[in-house]
Chain A
Amino acid sequence: NAGVMQNPRHLVRRRGQEARLRCSPMKGHSHVYWYRQLPEEGLKFMVYLQKENIIDESGMPKERFSAEFPKEGPSILRIQQVVRGDSAAYFCASSPGVSSGSGVQFFGPGTRLTVL
């Protein structure tokens, strides 16, 4: 987990509000993955980004969810008009890139989103 930062660690929103989750990758890493995890379950892939580029968003819900990884600053996962079903732990992982070795990922501590 060392080096990947996520904030906030805990986020409470009411139905209909927006949630913004931030991820700063490890130094030197230009690839970011976002995952969602429900209690006692594995991680479900959402989106894979490089700087200024969405590479694979096949795991993202078509509506209300978006992600970006700008040239400067953290990657942001944005959930608009949150619903109770969005409550989950959201993890970001960074990687130097899938072309380097096995493309291993390092995870952040996660953001726990609770929708009231």
Chain B
Amino acid sequence: TQLLEQSPQFLSIQEGENLTVYCNSSSVFSSLQWYRQEPGEGPVLLVTVVTGGEVKKLKRLTFQFGDARKDSSLHITAAQPGDTGLYLCAGRPNTGNQFYFGTGTSLTVIP
């Protein structure tokens, strides 16, 4: 059972374009993280959101946590080749110890 579904699974865009990646679930999470992973490396934490409706900005990246804390989005403005990588969302439910990872979105930004 996949608790968190990400879309799209693959995305290839030109440098300078904008994009949005979605992370959806039917479950409620106490917190949700976004990570970026490059080939051969471990995931690197980008942001943690904990409050429903919360919006966080990290330079050209904007993260939003849904009001009901079931979903999240990552918007990248003016994508650059350095943004290329696998983007993963991960949620921690209100109970239990696990972090559940999404299916991942593989982004390629073409110069």
A residues engaging B (CB < 8 A)? 1, 4, 6, 33, 35, 40-45, 48, 55-56, 58-59, 91, 93, 98, 102-110, 112
Residues of chain A within 8 A (CB-CB) of B74 are none
Contacts of B104 in A (CB 8 A): 40-42
Chain B residues contacting A55 (CB-CB under 8 Å) are 97
B98 contact from A6, A45, A109, Cβ within 8 A = A45
A91 and B42 contact, Cβ closer than 8 Å, known pairs A98-B92, A104-B33: yes
B86-103 vs A, Cβ < 8 Å mask (1 yes, 0 no): 101010100011111111
A42 to B30, CA, bound (A): 20
If the complex has contacts A40-B106, A41-B103, are A56 and B48 also in contact, measured as CB distance less than 8 A?
no
Apart from the given pairs A1-B44, A91-B42, A102-B33, 5 other A-B contacts in the complex at a CB distance below 8 Å: A1-B42, A41-B103, A42-B88, A102-B30, A108-B42
Residue of B nearest to A59 (CB): B98
A residues near B13, Cβ cutoff 8 Å: none
Assess whether B31 is interfacial by the CB under 8 Å rule.
yes
B19 within 8 A of partner (CB): no
Closest to B33 in A: A104
Contacts of A107 in B (CB 8 A): 35, 42-45
23 A–B contacts from the bound complex (CB under 8 Å): A6-B42, A33-B99, A40-B104, A41-B103, A41-B104, A42-B6, A42-B88, A45-B100, A56-B97, A56-B98, A91-B43, A93-B42, A102-B31, A102-B92, A103-B31, A104-B31, A104-B33, A105-B33, A105-B45, A107-B35, A107-B43, A109-B41, A110-B42
